[in-house]
Structure 1
Amino acid sequence: MLYDAVRTMGRQLGRGLYRPRIEGVERIPAAGPVILAANHLSFCDSVVIPLVVPRRIRFLAKAEYFTGSGAKGRMSRATFTALGAVPVERGSGGGALEALDIGLRWLKDGGVFSVYPEGTRSPDGRLYRGRTGVAHLALASGAPVVPVGLTGTERIQPIGARVPRIAPITVRFGAPLDFSIGYDHLKTGRARRLVTDEVMAAIQRLTGQEEAGVYNDRAVDE
């Protein structure tokens, strides 16, 4: 109920203010497990995706969004909980694995799980190398991966900006990628790397971003 209420209000407000361009949303399967794999440009990406996807989703968000104090902390916690966020401790291997286990359970129950393979948002607008958590989820669950390309969200809330701005954005959904067969003959690490690279290539085709060719190890204040 809360998720539906927040999404309904957010969609009305977002469409009225930003008039987002949404392409290919019909490519998201109407039922069954689905992984959404998106590039990451802005704090607001984690608000935009749940608001434009017709199905209920869950996604990873840093634990600090759930632990703040005062009115701001309560608002952040309530908002991200309502949007379907799963808290994860950044820099904690155990926390990341636990969050992926939550995602895997959600997928096995037929849900939609959204991830940012880059790990954190881009500091310069380039597309960074994907980490293999998305492949772990895809290969373990058999769920298709729908690539998501976000453009313009970095102008709404650039790194360091506290107040959102009005700027045009586009959200593009690519064709589902099926990794349920064809990787059994490969070692686990090799299979995960190949799957992740294919997902990132699909995202790049949607966004046209320059590829950084390296991992994004720069900590940013999200």
Structure 2
Amino acid sequence: MATTKAKTAAGARAPEDAYTAAPFVPEGADLDGLRRAAAGCRGCPLHRDATQTVFGAGDADARVMLVGEQPGDQEDRQGTPFVGPAGKLLDRALAEAGIDPGETYVTNAVKHFKFTRAEPRKRRIHKAPTLREMTACGPWLAAELALVEPELIVVLGATAGKALLGSSFRVTEVRGTVLEREIHGRGELLVPTVHPSAVLRARDEDREAAYRGLVADLKVAAGVLS
């Protein structure tokens, strides 16, 4: 591990199997300390193209933690999770389901924006992180969970589900149900649902039904918290 840490800190390219954020996660830090440390994370290659690390944000004593996939374009530019269109839709759905968005903690399985461009100067197009990249970023999520100690995790989408529950996770099979699993050494309750960006990508004639489905899943989460 010391060798990996030294090479990573120096900016050298490590084998993909060796990617991990673990050497960058400070022991005993609070959320602000983690956020400062994460700004310098070089645990996988995603930091090279991203504007900045986008760490979790919200109520440090939140009863519910919402975990998404990765920052989007607006999040990457602003440095805060869920500030783009998907975040605004999520806040609306949470409020409608009976969960105060201001009393949640929101974060992502991966803390850097992964994207591709069709041509130079074209808009940045989201690209799903690999399982190895999600695993590399896992120590940050584990540290957030240990500090926030939420009563419930809302899993937003397939990528977040795979990061937390393994590669066999299928959101369509378990959405809107309450799961009990051990996550990063902690017993957790989880309610999976779709990522709000999936609602935005739905066809016009299907979007309202997709939104109602998201609200229905979040109402299940609200029931756990009641």
Q: Normalised by the size of structure 2, how large is the TM-score? A: 0.33
Higher RCO (CA 8 Å, separation ≥ 6 residues):
1
Structure that is richer in helix per residue: 2
Q: Normalised by the size of structure 1, how large is the TM-score? A: 0.33
